[in-house]
Amino acid sequence: MEEEGGSMEKDFDSKVKIESSDTPLRSKSFAFRAPQENFSIQDFQLEKIYGVGSYSKVVRAKKKDTGMVYAMKIMDKTFITKENKTAYVKLERIVLDQLDHPGVVRLYFTFQDSCSLYMALESCDGGELFDQITRKGRLSEDEARFYAAQVVDALEYIHSMGLIHRDIKPENLLLTTDGHIKIADFGSVKPMEGSRVTVLPNAASDDKACTFVGTAAYVPPEVLNSSPATFGNDLWALGCIVYQMLAGISPFKDTSEWLMFQRIVARDLRFPNYFSDEARDLIDRLLDMDPSRRPGAGNGGYATLKNHPFFKGTDWTKLREGTTPPTLASEPGSTGEDQDSSLNPTRAGDGSVRTYDGNGGAVSASESVNVTRLASIDSFDSKWQQFLEPSESVLMISLVKKLQKLSSKKVQLILTNKPQLIYVDPAKLEVRGNVAWSDNPNELNVQVISPSNFKIFTPKKIFLFEDSKQRAGQWKKAIESLQNP
Ligand SMILES: Nc1ncnc2c1ncn2[C@@H]1O[C@H](COP(=O)(O)OP(=O)(O)OP(=O)(O)O)[C@@H](O)[C@H]1O
């Protein structure tokens, strides 16, 4: 264990010796673009959790002295070593270091302490493409085209560098605040022979260590048949994503991974009748059983893909101009998403709700005394971000009843770090009103009436809410902690 930790430190360092590939006996010095800094996690103010991966947590982190905001990918050294993920981490570090494209998340610097490795990434405050699809049910063809074109552009770059991403999925396609896509998570990347990216000898991913790399719903048939990885792998995943954007679910979705694999190898593909001919044709071609025939992989290269009728009207030179995707033509979906306040445990790795102690370590939620921090993890749910400013984050959120004299209405009550307190219609996703904020307890006062019921007094209005999760006391504490920070 100690030995592993030591080697991890050496390879995370900003200057390492690598063997030159053409003259194996000679070593040359290799300097990372993104340096390894001597920072500590205390140099950063940790805000909301962006996401939880299988071996990392990604947290919005503001550098206290410069005010710069990063997406800090935090990886526990013991966990990585125990799970044999060391090679993946080193590979992601060295690959991201050499990528330079607006469609790829940038790595700025790394640092470490005795427990964790930290990668300071460009922050994407618009959430995952996955959330966009879930929130809207499905996307219009204009929106899907807008996002797909940006993924094609970024994949063209990644492939031109001789890399296969191998885990293209809507959870790894992140949105900036102006609605543009960046590809993240290079932990499964595979450098092809002759790749333009320099890879440390011990940082290559070990294919034999797992049955397949990637995510079940997007895995191509040839990978299930143990064929070697090709660029076509990512193009199959692209086909699945275009389908998912338009239909709301991935094309081979089923009740178990095994059933999904059956459908993939049998190419059991059905199109909803509202798909246009162009969309149907593009997906059909990308989901070709022969990886070399998928547009982008064949002889015509990326020109074949970019010239496909689905992309008609796309100006490939101006993909990242403009700030918003085309008008949302789709109805808000009945996604079956929980409107309540809990973190979806399937996205949380071990399923437990965890929060940060501010020292870079994770502590169990029940041990934490800071109610607003606890709530900020508890409420991690990016669909509410649309009602907030980009840098604003949710501190506490609950589906509550707003009680009036003769009626009651279910609303999503949201407290943010701005601070502000708003309530939103959870079905229509519209802001219904706000509770006028004041730091003065005479102008904003919370009174707990029962474990579920609480009143908020403002000079002009009295609000009565019922929180069925019995968090009336927590609401009072959270609001008061913001009045006296
Ligand atoms: N730069 C970023 N900006 C905002 N959010 C991010 C960023 N990078 C990652 N995230 C969020 O964190 C999640 C986990 O990150 P990532 O996929 O890199 O972790 P991982 O441990 O490699 O996960 P996986 O299980 O997919 O391999 C992402 O799905 C995304 O929601």
**Which tokens belong to 366?**
């029940």
pLDDT at position 349: 28
User: Which residue has a Cα nearest atom 20 of ligand 1?
Assistant: 53
pLDDT digits (tens, 9 = 90+) for 373-432: 333 323 333 467 678 776 667 777 888 999 987 888 999 999 888 899 999 998 888 899
User: Which residue has a Cα nearest atom 30 of ligand 1?
Assistant: 51
Name residue, tokens 């504490």.
477
pLDDT at position 162: 95
Q: Which atom of ligand 1 is nearest to the CA of 215?
A: 26
Q: Which residues line ligand 1 (CB under 6 A)?
A: 50-51, 53-56, 58, 71, 73, 105, 121-124, 128, 171-172, 174, 184-185, 187
pLDDT at position 7: 54
CA 27–ligand 1 middle distance (angstroms): 34
**Which tokens belong to 273?**
């009748």
Closest CA to 272 of 141, 107, 422: 141
Tell me the backbone φ, ψ of residue 128, rounded to 5 degrees: -90, 150
In the set 167, 185, 378, 381, the catalytic residue is: 167
Closest CA to 396 of 432, 355, 443: 355
pLDDT at position 343: 24
Q: Which atom of ligand 1 is nearest to the CA of 124?
A: 3
Closest CA to 325 of 51, 63, 136: 136
**% of the chain residues with pLDDT over 90:** 50
Contacts of 64 (CB under 8 A, 6+ apart): 43, 44, 45
User: Which residue has a Cα nearest atom 11 of ligand 1?
Assistant: 51
Q: Which atom of ligand 1 is nearest to the CA of 51?
A: 12
Concerning whether 167 is annotated as a catalytic residue, the answer is yes
How far is it, in rounded angstroms, from Cα 27 to Cα 38?
26
Q: Which atom of ligand 1 is nearest to the CA of 125?
A: 4
Which residues of the chain are modeled with pLDDT < 70? Answer: 1-30, 200-213, 322-383, 385, 390-392, 485
Question: At what angle are helices 232-247 and 141-160 packed, to 10 degrees?
Answer: 170
pTM of the entire predicted model: 0.66
Burial class of 297 by CB neighbour count within 10 A (0 to 12, 13 to 18, 19+): buried
User: Which residue has a Cα nearest atom 4 of ligand 1?
Assistant: 124
Bridge-based pairing state of the strands 69-76 and 116-121: antiparallel
User: Which residue has a Cα nearest atom 15 of ligand 1?
Assistant: 53
How far is it, in rounded angstroms, from Cα 44 to Cα 64?
5
Pocket-testing residue among 46, 55, 56, ligand 1, by greatest number of atoms within 8 A of Cβ: 56
Name residue, tokens 């508890």.
378
pLDDT at position 240: 98
How far is it, in rounded angstroms, from Cα 233 to Cα 480?
52
CA 227–ligand 1 middle distance (angstroms): 27
CA 243–ligand 1 middle distance (angstroms): 22
Q: What angle do CA 211, 3, 350 make, to 5 degrees?
A: 45
Are 142 and 99 within 8 A, CB to CB?
Answer: no
Question: At what angle are helices 232-247 and 277-286 packed, to 10 degrees?
Answer: 150
CA 53–ligand 1 middle distance (angstroms): 6
Q: Which atom of ligand 1 is nearest to the CA of 88?
A: 22
Residue type, 299: N
User: Which residue has a Cα nearest atom 26 of ligand 1?
Assistant: 53
How far is it, in rounded angstroms, from Cα 47 to Cα 165?
29
CA 172–ligand 1 middle distance (angstroms): 6
User: Which residue has a Cα nearest atom 13 of ligand 1?
Assistant: 51
Buried b (16+ CB within 10 A) or exposed e, 158-171: bbebebbbbbbbbb
Are 41 and 118 within 8 A, CB to CB?
Answer: yes
pLDDT at position 329: 35
CA torsion through residues 82, 88, 94, 98, sign: negative
How far is it, in rounded angstroms, from Cα 104 to Cα 180?
11
Residue type, 249: I
How far is it, in rounded angstroms, from Cα 200 to Cα 181?
29
CA 348–ligand 1 middle distance (angstroms): 12
Tell me the backbone φ, ψ of residue 142, rounded to 5 degrees: -65, -45
How far does Cα 393 stand from its chain's mean position? 16
- Give the max Cα distance, the chain: 84
CA 408–ligand 1 middle distance (angstroms): 39
